[in-house]
């Protein structure tokens, strides 16, 4: 069956298809939200010869973003988003056609990596994406104590400032702060200025009885060194204030995070604080004495990474350990990656070259995506997801890709 995948030329039809796929409330402001976060030339559609009338068989979009890698590099990444298939067009190869189109376009644009947040985790592994970062959702009680003796002096030198996210210049401050901090936090994804504006875009019908988003900045000498977005929710129980502060991604140095965390658990009229996304080894968990020092703690997947151009991607990041391993790579949807590669890392730098030497390891490209930001992939051999032909070769490869700390989760896009 012929599936036509091409750039979108009808914004209204594109948006109407998205409304059907995601079946949310339709708003007059949806077109503005799409304009802010999704460039017109990064919207793509798929049509079937006998597909649905007046709508597309499928759509997808790409947000131009930057991804912080181990070693400190900040590189372009194609942020795959707005992926959807019309209910009448399911199981007809539409998603596969769109994914192949995305990978080919991304490679042609010279971008070596693609990333996404998975609506359903069972879908994207088969297209070569690996779960590259996890995140914790943590609840804390009012007045939670954070113990970090070697950060106290630095944290005391910081001030905090609460502002409206939609106020002039605030999203620009947020983006500048994240860019300044990204190299120290592999896994950080920095969106375009339009994407940051989208975070602050909250039409009245979306807010209703909610507080508009605020931003809490940590500052040193008048300079922003960290921030967190938040929203408060009123609640009273037995004549006592029991509201909840819901906080998003926390950005900044450990001392900035400490100052922000202390402010978050000491907000008037609030009884608890929910941090929606921190790394699985975030210092906050240590500051409260471990998982049982929290009210609730849940683990979820965050960023999924896809090596679009394996050779280029491997050399973009840094490595903490050496390796020299010949890997037989399976890649059904990006055949230019498939085959045998010698993957090396030496003195912090990596190289990937084609080879005819015997393979030491055999794996799907998604495994390399899972480990690309430094997340541990050592257990994949034990799980039967990797083949090892030379004893110890996979441990060598996984050890080279692993970083000292877990990668930073990324904001949903």
Q: How many CB atoms lie within 10 A of CB 57?
A: 28
CATH class in words for 4-111: alpha beta
Q: What superfamily in CATH does domain 309-401 come from?
A: SCP2 sterol-binding domain (3.30.1050.10)
Torsion from C-alpha of 365, 366, 370, 374, nearest 10 degrees: 10
What is the average per-residue pLDDT within 257-264? 98
Structure confidence at residue 393 (pLDDT):
99
Structure confidence at residue 116 (pLDDT):
98
Confidence of residue 289 (pLDDT cuts 50, 70, 90): very high
The DSSP letter of residue 210 is S
Number of H helices, E strands in the chain: 13, 22
**199-201-206 Cα angle (round to 5):** 110
- Is 135-300 in the same CATH topology as 4-111? yes
Q: What is the dihedral sign for C-alpha 85, 88, 91, 94?
A: negative
pLDDT in tens, 338-352: 999 999 999 999 999
pTM as predicted: 0.94
- Point out which residues pair with 244 in neighbouring strands: 233, 272
Instruction: List, by residue number, the catalytic residues.
Output: 124, 413
- 338-376 burial, b if ≥16 CB within 10 A, otherwise e? ebbbbbbbeeeebebeeeeeebbbbbbbbbbbbbbbbbe
Q: Which range, of 19-33, 107-121, 286-300, averages the lowest pLDDT?
A: 19-33
Residue in this structure with the two tokens 């970083």, named with its chain if needed: 403
- Is the domain 135-300 a CATH 3.40.630.30 member? yes
The DSSP element (H or E) to which 271 belongs, if any, is strand 270-278
Structure confidence at residue 125 (pLDDT):
95
Domain boundaries in the chain?
4-111, 135-300, 309-401
Phi/psi-derived region of residue 204, left when phi > 0, alpha when psi is between -120 and 50, beta in every other case = alpha
């Amino acid at each position: 069956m012929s599936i036509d995948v091409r750039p979108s030329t009808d914004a209204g039809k594109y948006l109407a298809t998205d409304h059907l796929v995601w079946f949310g409330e339709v708003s007059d402001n949806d077109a503005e939200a799409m304009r802010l976060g999704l460039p017109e030339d990064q919207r793509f559609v798929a049509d079937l010869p006998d597909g649905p009338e007046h709508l597309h068989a499928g759509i997808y979009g790409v947000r131009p973003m930057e991804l912080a890698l181990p070693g400190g590099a900040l590189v372009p990444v194609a942020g795959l988003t707005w992926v959807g298939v019309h209910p009448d067009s399911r199981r007809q190869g539409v998603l596969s056609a769109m994914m192949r189109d995305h990978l080919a376009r991304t490679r042609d644009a010279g971008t070596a990596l693609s990333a996404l947040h998975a609506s359903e985790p069972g879908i994207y592994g088969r297209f070569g994406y690996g779960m590259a970062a996890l995140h914790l959702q943590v609840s804390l009680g009012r007045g939670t104590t954070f113990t970090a003796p070697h950060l106290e002096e630095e944290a005391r030198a910081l001030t905090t400032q609460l502002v409206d996210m939609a106020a002039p210049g605030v999203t620009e401050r947020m983006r500048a702060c994240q860019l300044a901090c990204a190299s120290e936090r592999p896994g950080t994804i920095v969106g375009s200025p339009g994407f940051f504006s989208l975070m602050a875009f909250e039409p009245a019908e979306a807010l209703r009885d909610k507080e508009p988003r605020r931003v809490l900045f940590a500052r040193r000498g008048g300079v922003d060194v960290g921030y967190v977005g938040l929203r408060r929710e009123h609640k009273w129980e037995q004549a006592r204030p029991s509201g909840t502060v819901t906080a998003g991604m926390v950005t900044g140095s450990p001392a900035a995070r400490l100052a922000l965390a202390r402010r978050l658990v000491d907000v008037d009229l609030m009884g608890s604080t929910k941090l929606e996304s921190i790394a699985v080894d975030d210092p906050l968990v240590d500051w409260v004495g471990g998982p049982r020092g929290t009210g609730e703690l849940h683990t979820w997947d965050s960023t999924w990474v896809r090596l679009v151009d394996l050779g280029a991607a491997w050399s973009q990041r840094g490595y903490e350990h050496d390796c020299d391993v010949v890997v037989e790579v399976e890649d059904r949807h990006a055949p230019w990656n498939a085959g045998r590669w010698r993957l090396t890392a030496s003195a912090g730098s990596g190289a990937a070259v084609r080879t005819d030497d015997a393979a030491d390891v055999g794996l799907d490209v998604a495994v390399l995506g899972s480990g690309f930001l430094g997340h541990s992939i050592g257990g994949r051999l034990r799980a039967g997801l990797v083949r090892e032909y030379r004893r110890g070769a996979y441990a060598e490869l996984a050890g080279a890709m692993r970083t000292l700390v877990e990668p930073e989760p990324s904001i949903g896009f």
